[in-house]
Amino acid sequence: MTKRQIRTYNDLLEEKQELEVLLRAQRELLQADVQQLKMELRPASLVMKQLGKFLSRDRSNWLVTAGTGYLVNMFIRNTPVGRAGWLARFLVSFLLKNYTSHVAAGRKNKWMQKLFSWMGKGQHNGQAAPRDVKKPN
């Protein structure tokens, strides 16, 4: 864009209009560039997200976290990893506890529904069982 002399108020308004159009075009270009960068960096962000699950523990529900920790300890004791060196046991335990806490926290609602469906099958919607049911001899 060349600098031109602004002599009248109409020249100033024209210059303002041109600059606003240029600004809108540059904003659109910048937004397109940002979207392209997001698309290109998406695989790396997914890898970092999974790596973060291995390095940090989900603390949203302490009961789920404690349960997964207990199960991981039982798993490690009953596998060859339990007879490995202390460093290998520590690292495997650390990584598994962290990752399983995230997996269990993500699926806890589904598991709870399944558990309650198993427990509620013989209860007749919370009411007592009918008495006229004959028992086989």
Position 24 in a domain? yes
Same domain, 71 and 94: yes
Same domain, 39 and 87: no
Handedness of CA 65, 70, 73, 75 (dihedral sign): negative
Same domain, 51 and 67: no
Same domain, 90 and 108: yes
Same domain, 21 and 71: no
Residue count (the chain): 137
pTM for this structure?
Answer: 0.54
SS3 for 59-88 is CCCHHHHHHHHHHHHHHHHCCHHHHCCHHH
- pLDDT grade, residue 116 (50/70/90)? confident
Q: Residues 17-40: pLDDT tens digits?
A: 999 999 999 999 999 999 999 999
Q: How many helices (H) and strands (E) does the chain have?
A: 3, 0
- pLDDT grade, residue 4 (50/70/90)? confident
Q: Residues 70-114: pLDDT tens digits?
A: 988 898 888 888 888 889 888 988 999 988 888 888 777 787 787
Same domain, 15 and 36: yes
Q: How far is CA 86 from the centre of its chain?
A: 31
Same domain, 48 and 62: no
Same domain, 51 and 70: no
Domain end, chosen from 17, 37, 55, is at: 55
Position 127 in a domain? no
Same domain, 77 and 111: yes
CB neighbour class for 82 (10 Å; exposed up to 12, middle 13-18, buried from 19): middle
Number of domains forming the structure of the chain: 2
From 58, 44, 56, 41, select the one nearest 103 (Cα to Cα).
58
Beta carbons within 8 Å of 101's beta carbon, 6+ residues apart: 57, 58, 64, 65, 68, 69
* Domain that residue 87 falls in: 58-120
Same domain, 51 and 62: no
Same domain, 111 and 72: yes
| Res 133 pLDDT > 60 | no
